[in-house]
């Protein structure tokens, strides 16, 4: 799966840089076109000439060394790459990427690329477990970077523990398995809603809920990974879609989301409403900030439009999927929703269960199609759950010949 791929190998400083030489050689032997970018620290361990000989391509170490006056080197490299591998990835380079720092050739190129990035950390066991490093890795994971976990064993520093760069063969195996994902949604258009809505009271205040948008974003990213053309309608959230090919539509209120979903609904094959839309909105919205008054406050609320029901009533050949986030009798309420809203499938989760629900990176769900066939997905990351749900949807669509 790496044959004829343009692979950019980023080598950061560390004794494990010697393994990057073998990685370069093995990738080249497999038919990949490899170019290497080294940090200044990396050149203290391995000579750029070594990588040049192994890759048969120029090696890049200096942002300001423009080898071709017709091109900006770091932009040209960023655009050229199909895949980027950082091996070894030091705590320093991980921290730079996670915090948007671009102060050398490698970090600048990494911020400019739109290719899939694989990170293979290598460092002292205590550095690897430091809260700052863990936080930076978590941030990159949320942005869609792929991690190749380090191995455990005797480290060059003398410590024994996790932090040893994985072997080149393992890195390539992970790369090939990931790149071989079957694009079973190729040719399909997928519409996903995500996040909360904000229902305005005045210029300062609004009603909302605890939805983070993570489940909806995971579904959109998985659909894009499997080859679909994806539109993501999202309420206010700090999340960033890992795949830059996703068409992101930002909305604020329940009415905004209603209009956006109806706009894109007719042209999509699969529609998944994962957003937690407000059921009620203030009847009166104040133009100026409400001042604090003595006593209690009463606000009159009006019902928002039921987006899922309205889509179910007009669907033609779309496969429509809803979510039922409940705190009790979740299966019963979910099945009622499946029937009442004319859905093809419902994803039910009890948000009161530990590890499930809003905000977290994991979930526990039950997928039920309109034939009442049930699939229970135990505690897993929202990314894993999204992939399994899309496979169930694809199976059911084929059964019904959508």
Q: Determine the pLDDT at residue 160.
A: 62
What's residue 26's pLDDT?
A: 94
N- to C-terminal Cα distance for the chain?
Answer: 31
Residue-range domain boundaries for the chain: 6-179, 189-400
- CA angle (24 as vertex; 57, 243 as ends), nearest 5: 90
Evaluate if residue 357 carries a pLDDT over 80. no
Mean pLDDT, residues 214-237 taken together? 95
Q: Which of 96, 94, 38 is nearest to 65 (CA)?
A: 38
- The predicted pLDDT at position 180 comes to 66
Say whether 245 counts as a known binding-site residue: no
CB distance 194 to 275 below 8 Å? yes
pLDDT in tens, 246-281: 999 999 999 999 999 999 999 999 999 999 999 999
- Which residue has better confidence, 15 or 260? 260
Of residues 83 and 245, which shows the higher confidence score?
Answer: 83
- For 198, the token pair is 């904000």
* pLDDT mean over 343-371: 88
| Res. 282: pLDDT tops 70 | yes
**What are the φ and ψ backbone dihedral angles of 125, each rounded to 5 degrees?**
-60, -35
Give the lowest-confidence range in 18-27, 144-153, 304-313, 389-398.
144-153
Res 211: pLDDT: 92
pLDDT band at 244 (very low <50, low <70, confident <90, very high): confident
Query: In the annotation, is 157 catalytic?
Result: yes
Question: Domain 189-400 carries which CATH code?
Answer: 3.40.50.10300
Q: Mean pLDDT, to the nearest integer, of 34-56?
A: 96
Strand, helix or coil at 192?
Answer: strand
**pLDDT over threshold 60, residue 402:** no
How does pLDDT run across 173-205, given as a tens digit for each residue? 988 887 767 788 999 999 999 999 999 999 999
Q: Which pLDDT score is estimated for 196?
A: 96
Question: Tell me: the pLDDT tens digits for 85-107?
Answer: 999 999 999 999 999 999 999 99
pLDDT band at 401 (very low <50, low <70, confident <90, very high): low
| Confidence tier at 359 by pLDDT (50, 70, 90) | confident
Structure tokens at 255: 């009415």
pLDDT score at 161: 61
Which residue would you say has higher pLDDT here, 360 or 340? 340
**Does position 310 have pLDDT exceeding 80, yes or no?**
yes
Cα 235 to its chain centre, rounded Å, is 17
Residues 213 and 239 sit within 8 Å (Cβ to Cβ): yes
40 band by pLDDT with thresholds 50, 70 and 90: very high
Q: Does residue 315 have a known ligand-binding role?
A: no
Candidates 157, 249, 301, 379; catalytic one: 157
Are domains 6-179 and 189-400 of this chain identical in fold? yes
**pLDDT digit string, tens, across residues 59-86:** 999 988 887 877 888 898 999 998 999 9
User: With 90 as the cut, is the pLDDT of residue 7 above it?
Assistant: yes
Q: For residue 308, name the pLDDT band (cuts at 50, 70, 90).
A: very high
Q: Is the pLDDT of residue 46 over 60?
A: yes
Lowest mean pLDDT among 104-108, 133-137, 158-162: 158-162
> What rounded mean pLDDT belongs to the chain?
91
Q: Please tell me the distance from the alpha carbon of residue 402 to that of residue 399, in angstroms, as a whole number.
A: 8
337 annotated binding-site participant: yes
Q: Is 189 annotated as a binding residue?
A: no
Tokens describing residue 50: 């070594």
Residue 157 has pLDDT above 70, yes or no: no
pLDDT above 70 coverage of the chain, percent: 96
* CATH number listed for the domain at residues 6-179: 3.40.50.1950
Contact 48, 73 (CB under 8 A): no
Cis peptide leading into residue 103 (ω within 30°): no
Q: Would the pLDDT of 395 be above 80?
A: yes
Check the annotation: does 289 bind a ligand.
Answer: yes
* pLDDT of amino acid 254: 97
Residues 230 and 220 sit within 8 Å (Cβ to Cβ): yes
């Amino acid at each position: 799966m790496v044959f004829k791929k343009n692979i950019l190998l980023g080598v950061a400083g560390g004794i494990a840089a010697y393994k990057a030489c073998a990685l370069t050689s093995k990738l080249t032997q497999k038919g990949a076109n490899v170019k290497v970018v080294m940090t200044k620290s990396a050149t203290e361990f391995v000579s750029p000439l070594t990588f040049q000989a192994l890759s048969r391509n120029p090696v890049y170490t200096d942002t300001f060394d423009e080898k071709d006056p017709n091109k900006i080197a770091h932009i040209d490299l960023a655009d050229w790459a199909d895949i980027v591998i950082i091996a070894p990835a030091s705590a320093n380079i991980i921290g730079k990427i996670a915090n948007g720092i671009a102060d050398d050739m490698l970090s600048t190129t990494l911020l400019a690329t739109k290719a899939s990035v694989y990170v293979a950390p290598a460092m002292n066991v205590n550095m690897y477990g430091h809260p700052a490093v863990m936080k930076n890795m978590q941030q990159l994971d949320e942005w869609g970077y792929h991690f190749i976990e380090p191995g455990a064993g005797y480290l060059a520093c003398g410590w024994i523990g996790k932090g040893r760069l994985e072997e080149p063969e393992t890195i390539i195996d992970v790369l090939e398995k990931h790149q071989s994902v079957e694009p079973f949604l190729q040719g399909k258009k997928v519409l996903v809603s995500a996040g909360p809505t904000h229902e305005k009271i005045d210029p300062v205040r609004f009603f909302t809920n605890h939805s983070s948008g993570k489940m909806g974003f995971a579904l959109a990213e998985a659909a894009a990974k499997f080859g679909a053309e994806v539109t993501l309608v999202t309420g206010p959230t700090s999340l960033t879609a890992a795949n830059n090919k996703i068409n992101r539509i930002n909305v604020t209120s329940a009415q905004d989301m209603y209009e956006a979903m109806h706009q894109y609904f007719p042209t999509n094959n699969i529609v998944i409403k994962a957003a937690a839309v407000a059921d009620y909105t203030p009847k009166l919205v104040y133009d100026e900030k409400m001042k604090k008054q003595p006593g209690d406050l009463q606000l009159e609320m009006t019902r928002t439009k039921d987006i899922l029901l309205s889509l179910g009533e007009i669907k033609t050949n779309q496969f429509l999927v809803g979510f039922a986030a409940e705190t009790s009798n979740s299966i019963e309420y979910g099945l009622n929703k499946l029937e009442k809203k004319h859905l093809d499938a419902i994803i039910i989760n009890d948000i009161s269960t530990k590890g499930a629900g809003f905000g977290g990176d994991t979930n526990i769900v039950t997928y039920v199609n309109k034939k009442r066939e049930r699939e229970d997905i135990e505690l897993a990351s929202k990314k894993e759950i999204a992939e399994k749900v899309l496979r169930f949807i694809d199976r059911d669509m084929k059964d019904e010949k959508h």
